[in-house]
Structure 1
Amino acid sequence: MPGSPHSGRPPIRLTRRGRVVLVAFVATVTLVLLWLTMGSGAFAGSRESHGGASRPAETVVVEPGETLWDIASTADPGSDPRLVVQRMIDLNGLAGDPTVHPGQQLRLPSS
């Protein structure tokens, strides 16, 4: 095509290394955009993102005769106690022995 601005220019060719670099760059940009869109806590696993500033975890002191179920039912009466108990176990590192003792301080999951 005479007079075409592209005449005389060879087509762009990417080497295998160039394709790898391009794919890695696109993947990195995509992950950064997802991280920025979903928030910094999105990939944190057990951390919960609430859109606002994070607040310190609320704590309770276990009373004599009190169980995790009792504490969960009182702390978040509108939720399924089984889920709240599991979140308390995870939050307080009680996976090996979920028994609580009077006077023990427990962090409560934010509701």
Structure 2
Amino acid sequence: MSALALPVPEIAPVSARRRHLVAVPAFAPGAPSIPSVLPAERPRSVPAVSPDSDRQVSSHPARSAEGRLRLTVRGQIVLSVLALVVAAGIGSLLGLALPADEALPSEVATVTVGPGESLWGIAQQAAGPGEDVRVVIDQIMTLNSLADSTVHAGQQLSIPVEG
């Protein structure tokens, strides 16, 4: 069998339906031939002019009534990826502009860790009034090159002096 692109006979006027291909049996010798006439092109819609305004009204199916374009799924994905790239670029520029760490204190004191003491307790004693204890813990860990907040009894720690 072979297939020819023949228009499907329209039963009712349907403007939004697409025409489909119809399977036609193969031509056998002696079979009546079908004339090789190409179907006429569908007339394209011409933008109409609204009677009460000088603006043209678009009848393009991809445009909504407000005149905005609809995006395909691929277009939405591309737009999302582009937005993420722009956000990452802005974030990295802001990260370079803002200082990452506070400066280390200029004066330090040495403290010996007692039994049962924690880094939090030592930082609370070293922190000034209104100073965030978490910042002091970070400073102590940086000054002493500590990987975590575990301290042992008898360990010598450099702590920042308030003021």
Task: Give the TM-score, by structure 1 length.
Answer: 0.47
Greater Rg over alpha carbons, structure: 2
Higher helix proportion? 1
